[in-house]
């Protein structure tokens, strides 16, 4: 156990508990008279433990998990070794009278902290430079667990507003942001990295890794292999990427670029790109990338990312390419018949961390078809408009 995970709580608590099928106890520790209010999230915590045990293929490592209600602390919650402290206003509630949005937000905190029992506690970072690995994955996995256990929350539908948008806002100005992986010289500098770059952009990067791996089962196998290999050990970003590279090469028989090659520029460079799609012919576009801060910051002109461009046409044709260069021609001439009128929407599914800009005429054509777009793509179109107009 890492020293930062040691918890000692002194106070007068009322305790209530439920046992999982495998005998693990989930206990709620509340001020006297409040034990009924912790039961809602004790139930969710029990289900989340079983979810993660199955997802990682690694049992919860302790005989109990305490959910401890405290009145004041710096964060909403903190994952300790077998005990999570929550602000009372996060942990204690009456589901009959609490607004649904608040229940969902607090449920995400519960799911988030429990993921740390594996991602963070069982496998701990070597140092805080890689804090995104804890917080980015926890913010990503909290959506997975709630999507499965509480589908009515529609967690993935809200992901773009709750996480993606926060990442864009935090990373928008090169002079004010920092890379996801950052040197933390000493513990006094820690507060600088507990921000939306580590949490929200970290989460979006996990989503990009998932999209790059492609297959859900393979992504799950990568995380499971990582947790199994490094249980009770310390890691850094490279350890997870090496496992993904190996398993992906095995699955693809060595074809394609490595995940580490694709994702490291996103982790090690600040800011993010704009993708400009300019129509150059009936079925052709010129794709160009530049940093969102290029017009105000000279340093930005050198930045370049490998962009996974998932595209979709108005005819439902889809595909994917990696844009590693500053610019590249995109053609559908060999895929679409001569007389067919097409337009292409780039960043289909909003899985990539970039904003796409089109010519006005192109944008208008797409706007007419907005009703046929998925919720994520509609968000992408409208959000791009608000950020670029």
Nearer Cβ to Zn ion, position 76 or 328?
A: 76
CB of 119 to Zn ion, least distance (A): 9
Nearer Cβ to Zn ion, position 46 or 80?
A: 80
Write the binding mask 91 to 130 for Zn ion: x where contact by CB under 5 A, - elsewhere.
----------------------------------------
Contacting residues for 61 by C-beta, under 8 A, at least 6 apart: 117, 122, 231
Burial 242-278 (b: 16+ CB within 10 A, else e): ebbbebbeebeeeeeebbbebbbebbebbbbbbbbbe
Nearer Cβ to Zn ion, position 142 or 377?
A: 142
CB of 199 to Zn ion, least distance (A): 7
Annotated catalytic, 246?
A: no
Pairing of strands 123-125, 233-235: parallel
The answer to whether residues 92 and 69 touch, using CB atoms and an 8 Å cutoff, is yes
CB of 197 to Zn ion, least distance (A): 14
**How many chain residues bind Zn ion (CB under 5 A)?**
2
| 3-state class percentages of the chain: helix first, strand second, coil last, to nearest 5 | 50, 20, 30
Report d(CA 275, CA 354) in Å as an integer.
Answer: 7
Report d(CA 323, CA 183) in Å as an integer.
Answer: 28
Nearer Cβ to Zn ion, position 201 or 348?
A: 201
Write the binding mask 69 to 98 for Zn ion: x where contact by CB under 5 A, - elsewhere.
------------------------------
CB of 188 to Zn ion, least distance (A): 20
CB of 174 to Zn ion, least distance (A): 26
Nearer Cβ to Zn ion, position 26 or 131?
A: 131
Interface with Zn ion by CB under 5 A: which range of 56-64, 138-146, 174-182, 289-297?
Answer: 138-146
Report d(CA 311, CA 320) in Å as an integer.
Answer: 6
**Encoding tokens for residue 385?**
């408009």
Computed over its alpha carbons, how large is the radius of gyration of the chain? 23
Write the binding mask 331 to 370 for Zn ion: x where contact by CB under 5 A, - elsewhere.
----------------------------------------
Three-state DSSP class for residue 368: helix
Residue 381 neighbours by CB distance under 10 Å: 19
**Cα pseudo-dihedral 26, 32, 37, 40, rounded to 10:** 0
138 binds Zn ion (CB under 5 A): yes
Nearer Cβ to Zn ion, position 75 or 232?
A: 75
Placement of tokens 């996801």 in the chain: 180
Among candidate residues 113, 250, 339, 341, the one labeled active-site is 113
The closest residue (CB) to Zn ion is 138
CB of 109 to Zn ion, least distance (A): 9
Positions touching Zn ion (CB under 5 A) are 135, 138
Report, as residue numbers or ranges, the catalytic residues.
Answer: 113
């Amino acid at each position: 156990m890492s020293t930062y995970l040691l918890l000692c709580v002194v106070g007068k608590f009322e305790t209530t508990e439920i046992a999982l099928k495998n005998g693990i106890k989930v206990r709620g520790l509340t001020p006297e008279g409040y034990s009924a209010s912790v039961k809602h999230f004790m139930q969710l915590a029990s289900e989340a433990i079983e979810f993660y045990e199955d997802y990682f293929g690694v049992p919860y490592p302790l005989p109990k998990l305490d959910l401890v209600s405290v009145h004041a602390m710096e964060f909403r919650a903190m994952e300790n070794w077998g005990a999570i402290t929550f602000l009372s206003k996060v942990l204690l509630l009456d589901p009959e009278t609490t607004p649904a949005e608040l229940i969902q937000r607090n449920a995400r905190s519960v799911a988030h902290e429990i993921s740390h029992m594996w991602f963070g506690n069982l496998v701990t970072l070597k140092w805080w430079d890689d804090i995104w690995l804890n917080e980015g994955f926890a913010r990503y996995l909290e959506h997975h667990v709630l999507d499965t256990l509480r589908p009515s929350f529609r967690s993935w539908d809200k992901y773009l507003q709750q996480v993606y948008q926060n990442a864009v806002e935090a990373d928008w100005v090169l002079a004010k942001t920092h890379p996801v992986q950052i040197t933390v010289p000493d513990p006094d500098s820690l507060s600088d990295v507990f921000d939306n770059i580590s949490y929200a952009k970290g989460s979006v990067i996990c989503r990009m890794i998932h999209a790059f791996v492609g297959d859900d089962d393979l992504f799950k196998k990568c995380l499971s292999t990582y947790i199994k290999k490094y249980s009770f050990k310390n890691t850094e970003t490279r350890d997870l990427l090496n496992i993904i590279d190996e398993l992906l090469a095995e699955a693809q028989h060595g074809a394609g670029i490595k995940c580490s090659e694709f994702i490291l520029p996103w982790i090690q460079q600040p800011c993010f790109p704009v993708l400009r799609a300019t129509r150059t012919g009936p079925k052709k576009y010129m794709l160009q990338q530049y940093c969102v801060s290029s017009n105000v910051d000279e340093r930005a002109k050198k930045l370049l990312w490998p962009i996974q461009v998932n595209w979709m046409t108005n005819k439902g044709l889809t595909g994917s390419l990696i844009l590693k260069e500053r610019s590249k021609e995109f053609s559908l001439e060999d895929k679409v018949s001569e007389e067919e009128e097409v337009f292409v929407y780039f960043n289909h599914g909003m899985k990539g961390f970039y904003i796409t800009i089109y010519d006005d005429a192109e944008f208008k054509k797409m706007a007419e078809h907005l009703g046929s777009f998925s919720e994520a793509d509609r968000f992408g179109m409208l959000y791009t408009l608000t950020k670029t107009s």
